[in-house]
Amino acid sequence: MLTPKQQELLSFIQTRLEEGGVSPSFEEMKEALDLRSKSGIHRLINALEERGFIRRLPNRARALEVLKLPDAMHRAPKLAVPAKAPLTSGPALSQPPVAANDILEIPLHGRIAAGVPIEALEGQNMLSVPAALLGTGDHYALEVAGDSMVEAGILDGDFALIQRTDVAREGQIVVALIDENEATLKYFRREGPKVRLDPANSAYEPQIYDPRQVRIQGKLAGLLRRYN
């Protein structure tokens, strides 16, 4: 059984997620519950988490997920969830709303040539990426070095966000590992029995390999660019 404040906080978090997909900040929760300090919010969050009503999403900043609602919680009509994610009380929610403004930490594996293949997947740094830039699946990031993909809008210094996969469709931009020790970012195409890796810059020639030389390590899911 939840205390009135725990139930009030749970209802506020659920409402904010339903209305905009954004998890409220601790400051917003403090003001909504008319508490004097954020420490009270921390205690309420911990209590709800221990009782299995919410959970904090791993590797994400300021992201909470509502797992279930108590049977006693009566909701106003304006807080109803769309049909694709029906709200139930008591049992766990089958599709709990997730914050859209959270941040993921994904591995940053060094620099990858967008021109000539270089060794990739070096280092184990992490890169903070808005979750909205990524889809489902496992991801990592590579810093682009070179200009052979400029006509695809991929510039030197960009961070290529890669979804892990070992298969690719014709025309996808992929990370291809060549002879098990060098990687490149290119368009994937077939040319008869061969694999052709195409640049997006007329100054560069396609790279043609025996399929046994090429192993797909991921496909491009998005780009992150810094402006200094």
Per-residue pLDDT at 186? 95
128 tagged catalytic: no
Residue 120 lies in a domain: yes
Q: What is the CATH number of the domain that holds 116?
A: 2.10.109.10
pLDDT in tens, 166-224: 999 999 999 999 988 788 999 999 999 999 999 999 999 999 999 999 999 999 999 99
Model pLDDT, residue 95:
44
Answer whether residue 86 is part of any domain: no
Q: Which of 15, 44, 79 is the last residue in one of the domains?
A: 79
Q: Is residue 98 scored above 60 in pLDDT?
A: no
Residue by residue, DSSP assigns the chain as ---HHHHHHHHHHHHHHHHHS-PPPHHHHHHHTT-S-HHHHHHHHHHHHHTTSEEEPTT-TT-EEE-B--TT----GGGPPPTTS---SSSBPSS----SS-EEEEEEEEEEESSS-B--S---EEEEEEGGG--SS-EEEEEEESSTTGGGT--TT-EEEEE--S---TT-EEEEEETTTEEEEEEEEEETTEEEEE-SSTTS--EEE-GGGEEEEEEEEEEE----
Number of domains in the chain: 2
Q: What is the pLDDT of residue 82?
A: 36
What mean pLDDT is reported for the chain? 79
**What local confidence, expressed as pLDDT, does residue 83 receive?**
37
Residue 91 lies in a domain: no
Of the candidates 186, 194, 202, 219, the residue annotated as catalytic is 186
The question of whether 186 is a catalytic residue gets the answer yes
The predicted pLDDT at position 104 comes to: 78
Same domain flag for 204 and 142 = yes
**The domain containing residue 194 runs over which residues?**
103-224
The verdict on 109 and 217 lying in the same domain is yes
Position 77 scores a pLDDT of 38
Calculate mean pLDDT across residues 80-90. 39
Portion of the chain with pLDDT greater than 90, in percent: 30
pLDDT of residue 86: 40
Catalytic one among 23, 148, 202, 219? 148
Domain of 29, CATH number, reads 1.10.10.10
